[in-house]
């Protein structure tokens, strides 16, 4: 874990915008941006960052238009109202639905694309999917060092100090004191985990439905994985499925997990151990 | 019609019996395979000590030591004893497994050796275990580049740690 203060000579530049009811932040080392590091031509790097952020924003806007249930005109809302059948839905909608169903199988029902009232709600998988797509858009623009944060779910590539191999340091919020960090985790760099997602039982939205009638065991679950959809879905599934799902997840996937129980006690895989 | 139903019921029962018999055979095969695998490591080099401390119920051999007697024990359905496997490299470090066999069945599997590169004993699985707050990786918000937390709404973002980081990098 390399603190920012020791990231010699590396300046990070960030852009933020709102989408899907949350805030998305793109952070890039200035050195990774074309001419930004050359004195007197800083404007070029800023423009490159603006263009990259715009590309990311387009990805999220497209996902939001199609999949958001709070937009009455979205394809998801028309499906929910029964005006559209899945068979007549777009290929993207059907693909995400298929993904969500396969996650439901793999998590033995702890993750589900259907609300208890039967309405199809893919929001549990769409944000992770959009983050992954945005990452692909950044790579296709030739940007190889970046950190993308969408409402607390993080995907990185490269390093905050281009070429150094240093990991991006991601803090995990303490659910009992949201102004403090509970822990930290090194993403990317020498490791093979580029994604970190956190789910909470008190979180916004309704896409976590607990399996069974008993109360939620975990206040917050963070999962580090190679890809953001796996991290996001498993974090959601572990909050919903409790201890049994936690063990299934750590046995079945190459992940690190940090759990905060409702009582405040912690459970962690070795990767989170100091 | 009744006859036909009876015949198909009989056939179905036979099918179940055969399936059960086959799976029984399969279990017997696999247990002896495991036992002989343990035997096979007796002569291996390195950490794989492959010691069979098995005492054979059958009169065929007194479990003195060495591969031969272990093999006899493994092959016998009455075998009782503990057998150590070879040292295998895994992503958790070196692992050596010990099995306990009773009446030809594996009744227990334990890890004899489990070390990381520094030869320290390590947790065998990647399971999440209870930790104290000062036992997890610590960091100050000044030392991280991004923050993971349960979904922050646009409103809540204003007062979040992530917002402070973003503002510093704008």
DSSP states along B73-106: HHHSTT-EEEEEEEEEEETTEEEEEEEEEETTEE
Quote the pLDDT of residue B12: 54
Q: How many helices (H) and strands (E) does chain A have?
A: 5, 10
Quote the pLDDT of residue B61: 39
Query: Residue A6: helix, strand or coil by DSSP?
Result: helix
Quote the pLDDT of residue A178: 87
Query: For residue B162, which residues of chain A lie inside 8 Å, CB to CB?
Result: 23, 25, 149, 152
Supply the mean pLDDT for chain B. 62
The residue extents of the domains of chain B are: 2-167
Pick the CATH number of B2-167 from 3.40.50.300, 3.90.320.10, 1.10.10.10, 3.90.1010.20: 3.90.1010.20
Quote the pLDDT of residue B27: 41
Asked whether the beta carbons of residue B150 and residue A220 sit closer than 8 angstroms, the reply is yes
Answer yes or no: is pLDDT of B14 > 80. no
Quote the pLDDT of residue A191: 85
Can you tell me the distance from the alpha carbon of A36 to that of A27, in angstroms, rounded to the nearest whole number? Answer: 14
For residue A267, list its beta bridge partners: A259, B130
Exposure on the CB side of residue A133, measured as CA atoms within 13 A:
18
Can you tell me the distance from the alpha carbon of A152 to that of A67, in angstroms, rounded to the nearest whole number? Answer: 20
Asked whether the beta carbons of residue B133 and residue A21 sit closer than 8 angstroms, the reply is no
* ipTM of this predicted structure: 0.87
Element (H, E) at A203: none
Asked whether the beta carbons of residue A272 and residue B143 sit closer than 8 angstroms, the reply is no
Quote the pLDDT of residue B9: 56
pLDDT grade for A122, boundaries at 50, 70 and 90: very high
pLDDT tens-place string over residues A168-210: 999 999 998 888 999 999 999 888 999 999 999 865 444 455 5
**What end-to-end distance do the CA atoms of chain A give, in Å?**
10
> Using the 8-state DSSP alphabet, how is residue A144 labeled?
-
Chain position carrying tokens 């009638």: A213
Lowest mean pLDDT among A45-59, B20-34, B134-148: B20-34
Can you tell me the distance from the alpha carbon of A173 to that of A176, in angstroms, rounded to the nearest whole number? Answer: 9
Tell me the percentage of chain A whose pLDDT exceeds 70.
88
What does DSSP say about strands A168-174 and B146-148: parallel, antiparallel, or unpaired?
parallel
Quote the pLDDT of residue B3: 55
CB A261 within 8 A of CB B122: no
- Give mean pLDDT, residues A86-99: 95
Quote the pLDDT of residue B44: 37
pLDDT tens-place string over residues A77-91: 999 999 999 999 999
Answer yes or no: is pLDDT of B80 > 70. yes
Phi, psi of A229 (to 5 degrees): -65, -45
Asked whether the beta carbons of residue A173 and residue B147 sit closer than 8 angstroms, the reply is yes
Can you tell me the distance from the alpha carbon of B152 to that of A266, in angstroms, rounded to the nearest whole number? Answer: 22
Residue of B137, B159, B166 lying closest to A25 (CB–CB):
B166
Chain position carrying tokens 């590309």: A55
Query: For residue B170, which residues of chain A lie inside 8 Å, CB to CB?
Result: 13-16
pLDDT grade for B95, boundaries at 50, 70 and 90: confident
Angle (CA) A219-A97-A248 rounded to 5° is 40
CA distance B50 to chain A (A): 28
Residue of A154, A196, A266 lying closest to B136 (CB–CB):
A266
List all residues 6 or more positions away from B85 whose beta carbon is below 8 Å from its beta carbon.
Answer: B37, B38, B41, B48, B50, B96, B97, B98, B99
CB A183 within 8 A of CB A272: yes
Quote the pLDDT of residue B115: 59
Can you tell me the distance from the alpha carbon of B146 to that of A16, in angstroms, rounded to the nearest whole number? Answer: 13
Asked whether the beta carbons of residue A181 and residue B140 sit closer than 8 angstroms, the reply is yes
Q: Enter the tokens of residue A97.
A: 């639905």
CB B108 within 8 A of CB B86: no
Asked whether the beta carbons of residue B148 and residue A154 sit closer than 8 angstroms, the reply is yes
Chain centroid to CA B73: 23
């Amino acid at each position: 874990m390399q603190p920012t203060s020791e990231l010699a000579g590396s300046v990070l530049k960030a852009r933020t915008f709102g989408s899907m009811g949350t805030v998305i932040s793109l952070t890039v080392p200035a050195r990774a941006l074309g001419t930004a590091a050359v004195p007197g031509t800083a404007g070029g790097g800023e423009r490159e960052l603006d263009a990259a952020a715009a590309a990311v924003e387009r990805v999220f806007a497209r996902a939001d238009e199609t999949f958001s249930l709070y937009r009455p005109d979205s394809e998801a809302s028309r499906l929910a109202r029964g005006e559209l059948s899945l068979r007549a839905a777009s290929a993207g909608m059907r693909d995400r639905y298929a993904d969500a169903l396969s996650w439901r199988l793999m998590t033995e029902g702890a993750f589900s694309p259907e609300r208890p009232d039967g309405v199809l709600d893919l929001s549990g998988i769409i944000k992770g999917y959009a983050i992954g797509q945005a990452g692909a858009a950044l790579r296709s623009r030739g940007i190889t060092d970046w950190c993308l944060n969408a409402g607390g779910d993080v995907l990185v590539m490269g390093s905050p100090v281009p070429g150094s191999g240093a990991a991006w340091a991601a803090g995990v919020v303490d659910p009992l004191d949201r102004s403090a960090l509970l822990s930290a985790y090194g993403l990317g760099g020498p490791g093979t985990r580029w994604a970190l997602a956190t789910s909470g039982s008190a979180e916004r939205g309704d896409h976590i439905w607990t399996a069974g009638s008993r109360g939620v065991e975990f206040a917050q679950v963070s999962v580090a994985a190679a890809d953001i959809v796996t991290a996001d879905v498993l974090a959601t599934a572990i909050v919903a499925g409790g201890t049994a799902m936690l063990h299934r997840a750590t046995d079945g996937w190459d992940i690190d997990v940090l759990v905060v129980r409702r009582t405040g006690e912690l459970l962690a895989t070795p990767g989170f151990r100091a | 019609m009744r006859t036909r139903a009876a015949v198909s019921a009989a056939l179905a029962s036979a099918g179940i019996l055969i399936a059960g018999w086959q799976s029984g055979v399969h279990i017997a095969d696999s247990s002896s395979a495991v036992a002989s695998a343990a035997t096979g490591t007796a002569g291996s080099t390195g950490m794989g000590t492959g010691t069979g401390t098995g005492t054979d119920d059958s009169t065929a051999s007194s479990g003195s030591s060495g591969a031969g007697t272990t093999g006899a024990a493994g092959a016998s359905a009455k075998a009782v004893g503990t057998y150590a496997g070879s040292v295998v490299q895994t992503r958790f470090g070196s692992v050596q497994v010990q099995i306990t066999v009773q009446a030809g069945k594996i009744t227990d599997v334990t890890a004899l050796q489990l070390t990381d590169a520094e030869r320290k004993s390590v947790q065998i699985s990647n399971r999440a275990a209870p930790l104290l707050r000062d036992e997890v990786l610590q960091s100050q918000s000044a030392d991280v580049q991004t923050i993971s937390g349960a979904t922050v709404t646009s409103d809540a973002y204003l007062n979040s740690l992530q917002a402070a980081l973003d503002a510093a990098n704008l």
